[in-house]
Structure 1
Amino acid sequence: MRGISEARWPTADAIIGNPPFLGGSKMRGELGDEYTEALRKVYEGRVPGGADLVAYWFEKARAQIESGECQRAGLVATNSIRGGANQQVLARILATPSPGLRGEGEGEMRIFNAWSDEEWINEGAAVRVSLVCFGNSPRPQAGEGLGVRGILNGQLVESIHADLTAGEGLNLTQAKLLKENAGVCFMGASKKAPFDIPGDLARQWLKLPNPNGRPNSEVVRPWANGMDITRRASDTWIVDFGTDMSEADAALYEAPFEYVVQHVKPVSEKNRDKVVARNWWRHARPRIDMRIALKGLPRYIATPHVSKHRIFVWIAPAVLPDQMLIVTARSDDATFGILHSRFHELWALRMGTWMGAGNDPRYTPTTTFETFPFPEGLTPKDSAPLTRPDGHHLPPVGEGNSSPLPQAGELGVRAADNWLNPPEWTDWLRTPEEEKAGYPLRPVAKTGHEADLKKRTLTNLYNARPAWLDNAHKALDAAVAQAYGWNDYKPEMPDEEILRRLLALNLVRAS
């Protein structure tokens, strides 16, 4: 990459463009390793490594304005520009002083007009986009009040934040990571190859002997991804040789290993990551920290990485979560209830990003969980389970106290479970081998109710949001509000007021 330098753009009054939409994870495949590495090297320290390609256009335009070679810019981006690594280029724009408009003296760079989330159809492909205009604007003179204000989604506002929102006390881009939330929330394991197998095949393997005298249940386990939560459980299992098992030891589990040799090895050996290719019998990203955090828990909390509704469920410890699940290493009802409350959902929607034409929200361990201010005394640090000498966990301090929060969360879960798998339609099955290995019961439709049960999904439930579910969430929200000490809370409280309070609490905790 010797001799590579940043391309020069000509001096202009304005830059207007529709840069290509290409996600950060797809750049190497589309542009090649050499170009991608060169681009990231040139913009190192200015554009985060995981940012989408469009972010580089925003940074280039910002630099042109800062140097006085341009006055303003208007660019189209996918609506993911509002969050994650992409958002940092908008934050950089707002943090940049500028020479000001020609003939008007020193000014400040700002986003002065934006449409945050619009439908965009191009050659049959539907995406969601943001249209962002930024650049120089004059500083208000004495007695002129606010001076130039912004226009967001057609409405006049005092200023536009880096997440393309507005409102005093509502700049959630200021939210900080909270130490008490660290090391609790994780993305599930990333396999990068077809380690997954049908449940029927897995149950056959559980009956087979091995030359090491060990059961296949040690390397074959139930598996869940986002669709197992939003739809029905698929009864998919996975071959999992853990985080450090050698190839020689893995080979002693004959049937699972032979399957991996035939189906996984040809894929993994072609992986660009040399470590993944060399350790082809193991998952590419087994999430060691996650496994350590989940060890010994009687259950853990999971939510889909991308989902129309922000729903949380309990998952049995024997089930390995896929990367399309975000898991919280806690087993108490209070934490579950807080995460499933209106307050956390609002925070997650504002702090997360969005995906696809359906504009489904994306949940991440860092921006959405580690910034969220839990009620005092109920933070992840407070809810950490006590560990016995044998490695098993006891309930956290305070669990089972007089607070209505744990009970409100538990009642909602029980009602939802009864709706998903009504006993009149459902049998719960488990083979002797599954039971011996500690694997959970599986819901199976009773004869004649296959079609009925197929429709019972959490997505359908939350689309319909029947009165009993709405009432359960209102009761949960009231209990969580009480935990925050918000005695004035009512369901009619505006979303903006809730977010304003949560942001203020975040900033106090982080200080």
Structure 2
Amino acid sequence: MEAIAVPSAVDNFLKRWKGNSGSERSNFQSFMRDLCTLLDLPLPDPGEGDTSQNSYVFERFIASPRVDGNTESRYIDLYRRDCFVLEGKQTGKQLASRSHQNAINAAVAQAERYIRGLPFEEVEHGRPPFIVIVDVGNAIYTYSEFTRTGGNYVPFPDPRHFEIRLDDLHKPEIQQRLRQLWLDPDKLDPSKHAAKVTREVSTKLAELARSLERSGYDVERVASFLKRCLFTMFAEDVELLPRESFQNLLVDIKDRNPEAFPHAVKALWDTMNAGGYSERLMQTVKRFNGGLFKNIDPIPLNAGQIQLLIDASKADWRFVEPAIFGTLLERALDPRERHKLGAHYTPRAYVERLVMPTLIEPLREQWGDIRGAAETLLRQGKDAKALQQVQAFHYQLCQTHVLDPACGSANFLYVALEHMKRLEGEVLGFISELTQGQGVLESEGLTVDPHQFLGLELNPRAAQIAELVLWIGYLQWHYRLNDRLDLPEPILKDFKNIECRDALIEYDSREPELDDNGQPVTIWDGISMKVSQTTGELIPDETGRATVYRYHNPRRAEWPKADYIIGNPPFIGASTMRRSLGDGYVDAVRQVFKGVVPDSADFVMYWWHTAAENVRKGNVQRFGFITTNSLKQTFNRRVLEPHLNDTKKPLSLVFAVPDHPWVDVNDGAAVRIAMTVGMAGEHPGQLRQVIRETSSENREARDVQLSQRAGKLFADLTTGANVASAEALEANEGISSPGVKLHGSGFIVTPEESVDLGLGRTQGLEHVIREYRNGRDLTQKPRGVKVIDLFGLKAEEVREYYPTVYQWVRERVKPERDQNKRATYRDNWWLFGEPRKDWREMSRGLPRYIATVETTKHRLFTFLNAEILPDNKLINIAIDDSAKLGVLGSRIHVAWSFSTGSRLGVGNDPVYVKSRCFETFPFPIFNADQSAIIGSLAERIDAHRKRQQHEYPSLTLTNIYNVLEKLRSGDELTDKEKTIHQQGLIAILRELHDELDHAVFEAYGWSDLEGNLVGRPGATTPLPDKPADQAEAEEELLMRLVDLNKQRAEEESRGIVRWLRPGYQAPDAVQTAVDIAPKAAAATSEAVTSKSKAAFPKAIPDQLRVLREALAERSYTTENLAGLFKRKPVKSVEEGLQSLVAVGMAGFDAHTQTWYSM
């Protein structure tokens, strides 16, 4: 690696600065300018009056947040946007001393606080990936957080090498590292380089696997052989074998005698298994054992195949990324999966986003308490007790078990292992400081290692790969932390930590399910693919079959004991479980979980329930799962609610991301998921919401920016207004329905085909061939199609009265229906799959009805004529009252629908779930004038849109409202958008919507909220990044709607129902008029019963924990904080607070004499 600075320049720099003991403030900026000059870096810019222009300056102003809601004026010593926050110190302390380490810890905590205080425009593309601490005259310390979402900053590149002493500036690699940190910090992210290496290696292995399979070797034998080869390559790169020894052996065999390959490799692997002297390598080889090198039978290779192995061995296996290697290796070794090798994999950054709050953050909090306790004991002169506390934590860390009950190839487990190894490195560093280097030796066996990472996996090959991934990851980190691998033998141990079995059920036996002819029932195996003859794309190969089994005496599977549970269970919806898993298995699972997991729940919810149950029983500390983003929908929420609402042993969600991009490991497809972390007891949680997604240099991931809110998290993964608690109202019952579900495209006909079938000539056919609309017809350009609706007719009647229609449907629908498993669909082939008898009843006699598209970017409501038959993707409301249309189309109802509904698809579009969005919604109580005004405005909006679309047929509602949203946000329109603006007369439409919103707010009596909502963006489509005043007003609006829902539900319990369509819903009932006009929600003051004070804990770590938790709520003086506890332990509280400051977990404001959380 080429040096940037010549040695003489480095010497001059060291002569000027090394050991300099002057004033921090006077020396820091001079030191940094000289360092930039030495490394040929740009010098910081002069500061501007406009702070937003200060992208690279000394003394960058920020308003740093405090937990009490206040802010402080602070100045970052040196700031470079998208690169780092740098804090300068001149400690004057001896390097590696406790006081020096405390000063560095405090500086890191301060820098993290500054990062949290950066304004939005500074973190538009994520938070700075680095924190740099400069101890002027001594050293530079680097900390990284490459997800750039505000997680933990950890020593970079690892706890052993994050300190750069000034003498290290002679090293070219250190010079290059600092330059990249300044100029392109993301290139220092090791996972990005590792991902590239890992892809290349996997591709070479796949090529060799294909070659061996073509030679006739069994797939399993090939996979086993290649796994041994790749581990041997890894072993030589981390010097468990002599460097390049295996590579040189391969070259020698290829050049001299390829036929000797199996004998030579077997000899090497036999020696690796047992340990001993290798004649081939002329060296003593460590004993590996662990099962990997048992029963070996190397495959003979020709020269070309050996060359493929040589090519793979040239990769630097030290930098293979275990977090993705397992997935790619599984694809490379399985011929049925190999076509996915170029597909996307789950990015490491996404995995970390769940691992950190589930496992690492609580462990680091515990470590902070222990460090603080040690500081207290050291100040008291109790050095031995301080060491004992830290060693006890290390022992606990090495006994902490993590379980992934659907581990696949162990990507979650590996990321957990890596971060626990990082933490262990910090702990061992502390022990070394306390013992002058005579701390715990890993060779004694006390270390974080694979035995702590447990997995359940049904696929045998994936389970074997998972074990291999964990060992490679462990050995990589051991090598990085120690610069060598001096491990006790055997190197590999057969911990049996990955179990190949079902995670949900156990059973006595199983037998194939038989059909009526006594033949085994089979289903598509979910893996086999073939090339489509028409499109050339891969499609399911139905000849690849899997047997369906019937299970005898199924029961709940017991999970291994663990402290934390984490994972990504299978994404299978309730409706597709039988097709994917077979009737016998699904019946067994549902039988076992009957009464606790409803049949309507997705497959993943069986894992979620089991983990939640373990946490609530005290068996597990936390669990974190990836689920589909339908988690908050009603059918899945029924699993969450009993756990969250239990009054005796509740579960709390302490972290949630309701909607996040993801990559499905099975096929590389982009999907949307939710993340949840559960903990026993009543605790506030962190709600993270995606507010921006942008494409990334890493093609696997999108750069995701998250907002953060704290508070109690509800079952619908929200905080603030508990919309999940809203009850369905009787007043809204029985008047909404999805449209018909065809189950056969042959029912759809063009106008020309309708004429050919007799429309206009055959009497009564106008009632059979009807106008038809689906979601795209409403939001995009209408197709102009019709549909054959034979509801109410028998097949014989259709054949007699409408023979041409009968033949059309028989030829185009019946063949498809004959293959359907459901008898009702198969036998009633001439009828729609779901003809919606209830909808036909509720809409009878209406001249029109209200419709909205179930899943769409913009939530819009419109009138459809009664002659139009709606599709299943339309949600329809059997009301022809324009005032009700106006309320539904108002900002108030749309906000409610976004909060109570769901999201779907890669586009993350809102889903209108009628049971939650409509049936729970409390309508206002109109007077006659309000009803007339709202109804008139709704009619004018509906007519305006239809008129302009009729005049300009290419004009779509989606385009109209995209432009309206842009107008509201103040963005400049493109030429195309200006044309849409003119054609749609969108300025007029905007006025009409604003007037409608004003009228509806007035009808509710909530005009005080108008100013921050009406006319603002986000009225028809979700606005992730709302201004604070708008977000606060929306939250208040939702809370008022929840309160009004409860008020209406209470009325209905007393028999007072405010029917929306009383003539249909309750023709014999009398609409009771009760004067309870809605009022703006007022803050109610309740007498707060003072709780009895708690005793201050005796153990120092527990003392620090309760102090830390108190400061997380607000700032305190010492006296006030001590007053929270019995006997007011001022001295102990003061000592504990000083310890929290020493380890960077608290700060002290000398002006107000208050302590605050960092």
Q: Give the TM-score, by structure 2 length.
A: 0.37
The one-letter amino acid of 1:173's match is A
Label 1:374 to 1:401 Cα distance change in 2 as closer, same or farther (>3 A). Answer: closer
Moved more, 63-72 or 254-263: 63-72
Q: Which residue, 669, 685, 700 being the options, matches 1:125?
A: 669
List per-residue Cα deviations over 1:221-266 (Å, max 9, x = no partner): 1111111111111111111111x31111111211111111001111
Cα distance in 1, alignment partners of residues 890 and 570 from structure 2 = 38
Cα distance in 2, alignment partners of residues 346 and 49 from structure 1 = 31
Residue of structure 2 in register with 1:436 after alignment: none
Cα distance in 2, alignment partners of residues 173 and 402 from structure 1 = 29
Secondary structure class of the residue paired with 2:856: coil
Cα distance in 2, alignment partners of residues 60 and 54 from structure 1 = 10
Q: Which residue, 17, 21, 27 being the options, matches 2:571?
A: 21
Moved more, 56-65 or 268-277: 268-277
List per-residue Cα deviations over 1:287-312 (Å, max 9, x = no partner): 11100111111111111111111111
Residue of structure 2 in register with 1:201 after alignment: 753
Label 1:60 to 1:97 Cα distance change in 2 as closer, same or farther (>3 A). Answer: farther
Residue of structure 1 in register with 2:619 after alignment: 69
Give how far 1:491 is off.
4.1
The one-letter amino acid of 1:14's match is Y
Give how far 1:6 is off.
1.8
Secondary structure class of the residue paired with 1:48: coil
The one-letter amino acid of 1:331's match is D
Residue pair 2:616, 2:650 contacting (<8 A) in 1 also:
no
Residue of structure 1 in register with 2:925 after alignment: 376
Residue of structure 2 in register with 1:438 after alignment: none
Give how far 1:2 is off.
4.5
Taking only aligned residues, the RMSD between alpha carbons, in angstroms, comes to 2.0
Moved more, 322-331 or 39-48: 39-48
Residue pair 1:189, 1:321 contacting (<8 A) in 2 also:
yes
Cα distance in 1, alignment partners of residues 860 and 709 from structure 2 = 34
Residue of structure 2 in register with 1:110 after alignment: 652
Give how far 1:156 is off.
5.3
Residue of structure 1 in register with 2:823 after alignment: 274
Q: Which residue, 162, 165, 168 being the options, matches 2:715?
A: 162
Residue pair 2:883, 2:931 contacting (<8 A) in 1 also:
no
Residue pair 1:220, 1:256 contacting (<8 A) in 2 also:
no
Structure 1 residue 222 corresponds to structure 2 residue 771 = yes
Cα distance in 2, alignment partners of residues 193 and 402 from structure 1 = 42
Residue of structure 2 in register with 1:471 after alignment: 991
Cα distance in 2, alignment partners of residues 206 and 320 from structure 1 = 20
Q: Give the TM-score, by structure 1 length.
A: 0.81
Secondary structure class of the residue paired with 1:421: helix
Residue of structure 2 in register with 1:313 after alignment: 862
Q: Which residue, 587, 591, 599 being the options, matches 1:49?
A: 599
The one-letter amino acid of 1:3's match is N
Map 1:134-213 → 2, pairs under 5 A: 134-137=678-681, 148-153=683-688, 155=708, 157-167=710-720, 170-194=721-745, 195-207=747-759
The one-letter amino acid of 1:302's match is A
Q: Which residue, 40, 55, 65 being the options, matches 2:590?
A: 40
Residue of structure 2 in register with 1:335 after alignment: 884
Secondary structure class of the residue paired with 2:714: coil
Map 1:418-457 → 2, pairs under 5 A: 418-422=947-951, 425=952, 453-454=953-954, 456-457=955-956
Residue of structure 1 in register with 2:959 after alignment: 460
Structure 1 residue 404 corresponds to structure 2 residue 933 = yes
- Could you list the runs of 5+ residues in structure 2 that have no partner in the other structure? 1-550, 689-706, 965-985, 1014-1032, 1051-1158
Q: Return the index of the structure with the highest Cα Rg.
A: 2
Secondary structure class of the residue paired with 2:907: coil
Cα distance in 1, alignment partners of residues 567 and 668 from structure 2 = 20
Cα distance in 2, alignment partners of residues 374 and 497 from structure 1 = 17
Label 1:278 to 1:464 Cα distance change in 2 as closer, same or farther (>3 A). Answer: same
List per-residue Cα deviations over 1:43-78 (Å, max 9, x = no partner): 222223222211111111112223333221011112
Structure 1 residue 500 corresponds to structure 2 residue 1039 = yes
Structure 1 residue 239 corresponds to structure 2 residue 788 = yes
Q: Which residue, 771, 793, 796 being the options, matches 1:248?
A: 796
Secondary structure class of the residue paired with 2:1010: coil
Moved more, 301-310 or 491-500: 491-500
Secondary structure class of the residue paired with 1:57: helix
Instruction: Give identity over the alignment, percent.
Output: 35
Residue of structure 2 in register with 1:384 after alignment: none
Cα distance in 2, alignment partners of residues 130 and 70 from structure 1 = 21
Give how far 1:204 is off.
3.1
Residue pair 2:618, 2:680 contacting (<8 A) in 1 also:
no
Cα distance in 1, alignment partners of residues 884 and 931 from structure 2 = 15
Cα distance in 2, alignment partners of residues 6 and 226 from structure 1 = 43
Residue pair 1:226, 1:325 contacting (<8 A) in 2 also:
yes
The one-letter amino acid of 1:407's match is S
Residue pair 2:883, 2:932 contacting (<8 A) in 1 also:
no
Label 1:64 to 1:335 Cα distance change in 2 as closer, same or farther (>3 A). Answer: same
List per-residue Cα deviations over 1:301-341 (Å, max 9, x = no partner): 11111111111121111111111111010111111111111
Residue of structure 2 in register with 1:382 after alignment: none
Cα distance in 2, alignment partners of residues 205 and 73 from structure 1 = 60
Give how far 1:108 is off.
4.1
Structure 1 residue 92 corresponds to structure 2 residue 636 = no
Residue pair 2:652, 2:684 contacting (<8 A) in 1 also:
no
Moved more, 4-13 or 484-493: 484-493
Residue of structure 2 in register with 1:432 after alignment: none
Give how far 1:412 is off.
1.2
Give how far 1:364 is off.
2.1
Residue of structure 2 in register with 1:481 after alignment: 1001
Cα distance in 1, alignment partners of residues 998 and 830 from structure 2 = 49
Residue pair 1:216, 1:256 contacting (<8 A) in 2 also:
no
Label 1:12 to 1:207 Cα distance change in 2 as closer, same or farther (>3 A). Answer: closer
Map 1:339-354 → 2, pairs under 5 A: 339-354=888-903
Residue pair 1:97, 1:109 contacting (<8 A) in 2 also:
no
Cα distance in 2, alignment partners of residues 115 and 320 from structure 1 = 38
Cα distance in 2, alignment partners of residues 65 and 97 from structure 1 = 15
The one-letter amino acid of 2:887's match is I
Label 1:502 to 1:401 Cα distance change in 2 as closer, same or farther (>3 A). Answer: closer
Give how far 1:209 is off.
5.2
The one-letter amino acid of 2:671's match is V
Cα distance in 2, alignment partners of residues 405 and 267 from structure 1 = 47
Secondary structure class of the residue paired with 1:113: strand
Give how far 1:202 is off.
1.2
The one-letter amino acid of 2:778's match is I
- Could you list the runs of 5+ residues in structure 1 that have no partner in the other structure? 99-106, 140-147, 379-397, 426-452
Q: Which residue, 629, 654, 671 being the options, matches 1:79?
A: 629
Residue of structure 2 in register with 1:429 after alignment: none
The one-letter amino acid of 1:127's match is V
The one-letter amino acid of 1:505's match is L
Residue pair 1:297, 1:317 contacting (<8 A) in 2 also:
yes
The one-letter amino acid of 1:183's match is G
Secondary structure class of the residue paired with 2:590: helix
Query: Which structure has the higher relative contact order (CA within 8 Å, separation 6+)?
Result: 1
Residue of structure 1 in register with 2:942 after alignment: 413
Cα distance in 2, alignment partners of residues 510 and 255 from structure 1 = 53
Residue pair 2:774, 2:872 contacting (<8 A) in 1 also:
yes
